[in-house]
Structure 1
Amino acid sequence: MTARTAGARRHLWPTASAAGLALALALAGCSGSTSDDDAGSTSTSTSTSGSSSTATAGSGDVVALAEAFSATLDEDQQEALEQEYTFENAANWSNLPNSLLGGGGGPGGGGGSTSSGRVGLQTDSLTDEQWAALDALLDGVTGSAPDEGYDEVVQHLAADDYLADNGGGDAYGRGQFFVAFLGTPSDSGTWGLQFGGHHLAIANTYVDGQLAGATPSFRGIEPFETVEVDGTTVQPEQQEAAAFNALLESLDDDQLATAELSSSYNDLLLGPGEDWAFPETAEGIPGSELTDEQRDLLLAAVQTYVGDIDDENAAAVLATYESQLDDTYVSWAGSTAMTEIGDYVRVDGPQVWIEFSQQNGVVLDGAHPHAVWRDKVTDYAGTTS
């Protein structure tokens, strides 16, 4: 489409495939309720109107995978991994390298040290066996599509290794990520799985064996162009940019004018630290004013984020968002290319909130994207304090 203007840390991961924008839209949906749970000092409320998945297949596997990973750790590492389930801990994520948050865990990160920047266990202390167990856990809670889910995580960590080797130094690399269990993994009660670091945040909250929230979910990437790292092709955010470009290019001039924002955007509105700050009024063009083809393109763009969670839960979440498409707004700023610095697009629905924003390069020249997926009901599984 054309654009309209307006070392020891190495770990062997599966080779990522280069998939185009081929998205399965005919997903089977399901709906139901999740149960409330008193998680200590936190206040947790989850939707009872089909806003979150009740898919339980595999939930026991998640607990088993979490326990299997923990079993590979020594006592100090387990102490770092296991954190209290509180909103403060759940909301303690960022897109920044951990060194810029005051953390880092010291040289080598030995002994499972914690960080003042992020909670949890730093990955630079993991052995190959421990990495393999963590890989299995991440694979179990993420999607199976190429360039999404687990494949996307693989590429993100490879990208950070690339930055470490190309000017970023020790502040970057897969050893600078953190994993935390907030609460005890179980099929009863509330617990959370966090995994993240520079440009990546996974935050799954489980209530009584069900995935009750998979957001906030942050994705960014530098470099944005395709590179190869130890046999892994790094290009995980290109399909998001292509999906949004295809959607915007499908709009006619009047629709584009309606969707265009009056302000420019150089970053996300609802990035880290901006929890539950959704604007009261949506801007842009609603799904009710889109053609069937345009609605399919909107859903395809949303799927590039929802598809990061496990396939069964992703189908349920996407079905909910599809049912709300009439009242889901699309807006944009910059250009429709979604590849240039200053390009910005937003999806704002009754529940879904997605932002994609092209930034200036930090380690490398050129644009690189930041993106966040939030849910107005199930962020942190409804925990607000």
Structure 2
Amino acid sequence: MTSDDSPPAAGDMARARQKAAAAMTGAATAWLSALNHDQLAFAAYASPLDPAAESERVRWFFTPTDHGGLALRDQDAHQQSLTMQMVATGLSTAGFSTVATVMGLENVLDQVEGWGSHWGRQRGRDPSLYWLRVFGRPGSDRVWAWRFGGHHISLNYLVIDGRLVSATPCFIGADPARTELLGSSLRPLQGAEEAARQLIRTFAADQFRQVLLHPSAMSNIVSGNRPQVRHGDTMMHLRDLWRGRFSDPTLDKLVDDIDRQAEASSGYTDADHARVAITVPPEGISARDLDEDQRHLLKRLLTRYTGRAPQELAAAYDAHHARDSVLDEVHVGWAGSTDEGEPHYYRVQGPSILIEYNNTQRNGNHAHSVWRDPRSDFGLTELAAHRERALHR
């Protein structure tokens, strides 16, 4: 029994996981069947049971770099449609709309940056540079996985024995976080930001002292793109997020300059980063110390993240987190200003959930958000158990 399959929601959770896995299997099979031999060389990888494939599977990014797999730009229109149908199986309707919007924002960001960003490729901000890769043979292998990602998107899923066992890490960012439309504005992560701010603003002075991790916000989420999150992890700098240096010295300098400017803007030192490190048990205020109205607001905030999952699975997550014994283990932390438009960061952390939201870059108009499971990101716990059972058959 996994951490989120405890009674009374076990039956609903199990059915939701099976239904999601079935939809993913059908969509993945259709996509792979539509590819030619050359495309399959990029799209199809070995099962996660293969050590080399597993090493590649847990290598993930949210930066504008090659995420590994077959890019949308290298597919025809029909194949692109099948790709997006695959992506939709991993998300709720609202989650899919958010992801599609973030992908489209690459055009807006290109204009914001004066059409001059390139990141070592022909077009640096490109809505066709999102990659899909499948690990294993859907419908044939007992263990298979898939991921979809590009700038500000990383979706990761693992299926074992016809059951979706993991949907994290799930990263969605937005740059710009807010952009003007004719007569309105576009804010893909507005729900996640406003739900947290509404909760924080209900705190009395003694509660705010507990929730405040630091008076100013760090320049990025703390967990970064580590495969696993551990006690004591501090914010990853851009050099580490990109996993190495560029062969182009101009790009190499650009990454260092961006990181240096971000650190100067935040004012953080090594001591500050240590102060806001991820810890077990978590820092911040416990849900036990919240009144009923505040607990309701916290539950609503959690749904802004677990609600990314396929519809029925999201509902099962809601039921799970509504249980007092589960919610009591959740802590909330905040850094930075509570004023709208000002740089800020928050963290929601429990034994099987880690949520981070950061909006500091571009003067508080460039947001990163991630939903993780500290106990089993990438389904690593379930995969280890599967291997153990296989050894004793």
Common fold: TM-score over 0.5: yes
Q: Aligned residue for 1:350?
A: 351
Q: String of CA shifts for 1:76-124, please: whole Å, max 9, x gaps.
A: 11221111224322221111101xxxxxxxxxxxxxxxxxx43211221
**Secondary structure in structure 2 of the residue aligned to 1:346:** strand
Q: Whose relative contact order is higher, 1 or 2, with alpha carbons under 8 Å and at least 6 apart?
A: 1
Q: Whose helix proportion is higher, 1 or 2?
A: 2
- Written as runs of structure 1 = structure 2, the 5 A alignment for 1:161-240 is 161-167=107-113, 168=117, 170-186=123-139, 189-227=142-180, 234-240=186-192
Task: Give the unaligned 5+ runs of structure 2.
Answer: 232-278, 385-393
Query: How does the TM-score come out when normalised to structure 1?
Result: 0.75
C-alpha RMSD of matched pairs (Å): 2.5
Partner of 1:380: 378
Give the residue type in structure 2 aligned to 1:337.
D
Q: What secondary structure, in the 3-state scheme, does the structure 1 residue paired with 2:164 have? A: strand
Distance 1:182 1:274, change over 3 A: closer
> Given that residues 63 and 186 in structure 1 are in contact (C-alpha distance below 8 angstroms), is that contact kept between their aligned partners in structure 2?
yes
Number of aligned residues: 315
Identity level (%)? 27
1:336 to 331, 335, 338: 338
Aligned counterparts of 2:293 and 2:194: Cα–Cα separation in 1: 16
Q: Which structure 1 residue ranges, 5 or more long, are not aligned?
A: 1-32, 35-45, 99-116
In 1, Cα distance between the equivalents of 2:328 and 2:281?
15
The verdict on how the C-alpha distance between 1:209 and 1:337 changes in structure 2, with shifts beyond 3 A counting, is: farther
* TM-score of the pair, normalised by structure 2: 0.74
Question: For the residues of structure 2 that align with 1:162 and 1:79, how far apart are their CA atoms?
Answer: 32
Q: Residues 122 and 175 of structure 1 are in contact (CA less than 8 Å); yes or no, is this contact kept in structure 2?
A: yes
**SS of 2:346's equivalent?**
strand
Q: 2:26 aligns with which of 44, 64, 74?
A: 64
CA distance in 1 between partners of 2:301 and 2:365 (Å): 20
Contact residue 193 and residue 205 of structure 1 kept, 8 A? yes
Which residue of structure 2 lines up, in the alignment, with residue 16 of structure 1?
none
Distance 2:55 2:355 in 1: 23
Counterpart of 1:70, as a letter, is L
SS state at 1:220 partner: strand
Aligned to 1:102: none
- Partner of residue 200 from structure 2, selected from 242, 248, 255: 248
Matching residue's letter, 1:150? F
1:257-276 superposed matches below 5 A:
257-262=209-214, 264=216, 265-273=218-226, 275-276=228-229
Flag the 1:126–1:166 CA change in 2: closer, same or farther, 3 A: farther
Mapping 1:240-319, distance limit 5 Å: 240-262=192-214, 264=216, 265-273=218-226, 275-278=228-231, 279-319=279-319
Aligned match of 1:326: 328
1:78 aligned residue: 40
